[in-house]
């Protein structure tokens, strides 16, 4: 086996150069309905269908890879994959480090979910996923922020009473609240955050960004993007 690994490593080191362009699509795989791992262990969700369609329209061969949310930007800039398509909102801070395509999902609403009515959202303990716009918002809101590496853990923290409420995208929390059978509920008001969801690319990759921008344009124009949004986020989701 060791020999096998060595040989393949050597093969990988010496393999030839000119081959078809493969675009590696980096996603998190833990944020339904945007992206998640289905029962077969494959990447699925809104962004999987969207990404496959965009690649088809741009004439690219795409391959899906998953990466921790925490290190998703460092691994993009060091070239381990070529795009981030992981429900990432376009913000100024991120835009300084990477480039974004135009948005394929309009600015999203973020909401609080708690186990009971009347929790103190302004001064209580709120969970959010690390390095998200929601975490940044809570940090400035005056409430105590408790960060978790995955979105799933932020909900578990509400269920076991570690925090008063979780703050995340409405679309992510809606299926969770529905499935909880009344144990979890929306509290407080919706908050509009971010500049829409787009694909992240390296700043030096402007050619690839233009290709994806054109593909998103064509999907917006013929209504397929709206159909996809309605399928994954419900009919009342804001379209284009």
Tell me which residues touch another protein (CB under 8 A): 1-2, 5, 8-9, 11-13, 15, 17-24, 29-30, 32-33, 36-42, 44-45, 63, 65-68, 71, 74-75, 77-80, 82, 97-98, 150, 152-153, 155-156, 159, 175-176, 178-179, 202-204
Residue 225 beta carbon to another protein: minimum distance, rounded to whole angstroms: 20
Q: Which is nearer to another protein, 143 or 166 (CB)?
A: 166
CB of 160 to another protein, least distance (A): 8
Write down the least CB distance from residue 43 to another protein, Å.
11
Nearer to another protein, 74 or 223 (CB): 74
- Could you give the angle at the alpha carbon of 172 between the alpha carbons of 138 and 117, nearest 5°? 60
Minimum separation from the CB atom of position 159 to another protein (A):
7
CA atoms of 212 and 101, how far apart (whole Å): 7
Helix spans in 78-205 (H):
92-97, 133-141, 151-159, 170-179
Q: Give 66's strand partners.
A: 27
For the CB of residue 58, give the shortest distance to another protein in the complex, in Å: 16
Quick one: 126 or 201, whose CB is closer to another protein?
201
Tokens of 167: 């703050």
CB of 220 to another protein, least distance (A): 25
Give the nearer residue to another protein in terms of CB position, either 40 or 182.
40
Residue 181: how many other CB atoms lie within 10 Å: 7
Alpha helix segments (H runs only) across the chain = 2-14, 46-58, 72-77, 92-97, 133-141, 151-159, 170-179, 206-221, 224-233
Task: Please say which residue, 99 or 103, places its beta carbon nearer to another protein.
Answer: 99
Task: Output 120 or 210, the one with its CB closest to another protein.
Answer: 210
Angle at alpha carbon of residue 102, lines to 55 and 138, rounded to 5°: 115
Omega prior to 177 cis, within 30 of 0 = no
């Amino acid at each position: 086996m060791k020999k096998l690994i060595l040989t393949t490593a050597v093969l990988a080191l010496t393999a030839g150069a000119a081959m078809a362009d493969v675009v590696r699509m980096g996603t998190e795989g833990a944020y339904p309905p945007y992206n998640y791992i289905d029962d077969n262990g494959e990447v699925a969700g809104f962004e999987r269908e969207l990404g496959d369609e965009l690649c088809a329209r741009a004439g690219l061969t795409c391959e899906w890879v998953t990466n921790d949310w925490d290190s998703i930007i460092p691994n993009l800039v060091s070239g381990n994959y070529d795009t981030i398509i992981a429900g990432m909102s376009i913000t100024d801070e991120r835009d300084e480090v990477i480039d974004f395509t135009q948005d394929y999902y309009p600015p999203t609403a973020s909401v609080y979910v708690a186990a009971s009515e009347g929790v103190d959202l302004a001064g209580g303990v709120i969970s959010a996923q690390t390095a998200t716009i929601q975490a940044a918002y809570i940090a400035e809101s005056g409430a105590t922020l408790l960060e978790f590496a995955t979105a799933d853990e932020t909900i578990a923290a509400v269920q076991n009473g570690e925090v008063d409420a979780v703050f995340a995208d409405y679309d992510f929390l809606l299926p969770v609240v529905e499935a909880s059978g009344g144990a979890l509920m929306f509290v407080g008001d919706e908050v509009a955050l971010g500049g829409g969801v787009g694909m992240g690319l390296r700043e030096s990759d402007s050619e690839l960004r233009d290709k994806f921008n054109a593909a998103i344009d064509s999907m917006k124009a013929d209504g397929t993007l709206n159909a996809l949004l309605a399928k994954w986020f419900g009919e009342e989701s804001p379209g284009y």
